[in-house]
Amino acid sequence: MHIAEGYLPPLHAVAWGAASAPFVVHGVRALSREVKAHPESTLLLGASGAFTFVLSALKIPSVTGSCSHPTGTGLGAILFRPPVMAVLGTITLLFQALLLAHGGLTTLGANVFSMAVVGPWAGYAVFRLLRSWDAPLMVSVFFAAFVADLSTYCVTSVQLALAFPDPGTGVAGSLAKFTGIFAVTQLPLAVSEGLLTVLVMRLLVKSSKGDLTRLGVLVSGGRAARKEAAAR
């Protein structure tokens, strides 16, 4: 869920923009280095960003009977790493604000923080952790997408609770209210996104193993991989 244009008070909008800035700057530096070293990767990165944009336009059925779209942050982070996702996510959110009237410019910082920073980092951390424990690829992918989706919505709830504290119970009451509302829809959606990401990854392993190997997705990094490397 994107926070709509004008939803946040000015101070909050500026503060979330400042919080996102270091991550985006770090991503921009990583992306610039990559492009300078390999000019041809501009096209690959552009294609990756376009894929993220299109992924967020897919409608997925929810267990509650409603319909929503995947955030794509988990899959994006697994495929392209969180620093690059911070930049691609920011551009995607900018396109969504200007081309689809979805999200906003004054709330761009807040949306970037939840969707392009926290979601990808949380999802990627879970993916790497599970892979280092030799968890199967698809299990790691499911939990990465699930956690990325859920953490995005948790951060959005915090952002909304801070902006609109409950008159009686303050930020805590408001946080309970927003997480309660999101839990009804977002828990099933996070499960849905996890399942969809697994299905997409299964097809990608069959059809694009070369690309996944180049992106380092298939490296386990666990004990089995270390033993294999030592044996070589």
As given in the structure block, the two tokens for residue 100 are 């689809």
The candidate with the shortest Cα–Cα distance to 214, out of 1, 87, 18, 48, is: 48
How many separate helices (H) and strands (E) can be counted in the chain?
A: 10, 2
Whole-number Å distance between alpha carbons of 216 and 137: 12
Cα 224 to the center of its chain, rounded Å: 28
Among 21, 181, 184, 219, binds another protein (CB under 8 A): 181
Among 81, 164, 188, 191, binds another protein (CB under 8 A): 164
Among 22, 136, 180, 216, binds another protein (CB under 8 A): 180
Alpha helices in 100-118 (DSSP H): 108-111
- Applying CB under 8 A, does 190 fall inside the site for another protein? no
Q: Which stretch binds another protein (CB under 8 A): 126-134, 143-151, 177-185, 216-224?
A: 177-185
Q: Identify residues 63-122 at the interface with another protein (CB under 8 A).
A: 75, 87-88, 91-92, 94-95, 97-102, 104-106
**Nearest approach, Cβ of 197 to another protein (angstroms)?**
8
Q: 117-146 mask for another protein (x: CB under 8 A)?
A: ------------------------------
Whole-number Å distance between alpha carbons of 33 and 201: 28
Q: 27-46 mask for another protein (x: CB under 8 A)?
A: -x--xx--xx--xx-xxxxx
The 3-state DSSP class for residue 223 equals: helix
Between 19 and 200, name the residue whose CB sits nearer to another protein. Answer: 200
Cβ-proximal residues to 84 (8 Å cutoff; 6+ apart), any chain: 27, 30, 31, 34, 45, 48
Counting residues that bind another protein (by CB under 8 A) gives 72
Q: Which stretch binds another protein (CB under 8 A): 15-23, 115-123, 124-132, 195-203?
A: 195-203
Q: Identify residues 204-223 at the interface with another protein (CB under 8 A).
A: 204, 207-208, 211
Lookup result for tokens 């190997």: 213
- Applying CB under 8 A, does 203 fall inside the site for another protein? yes
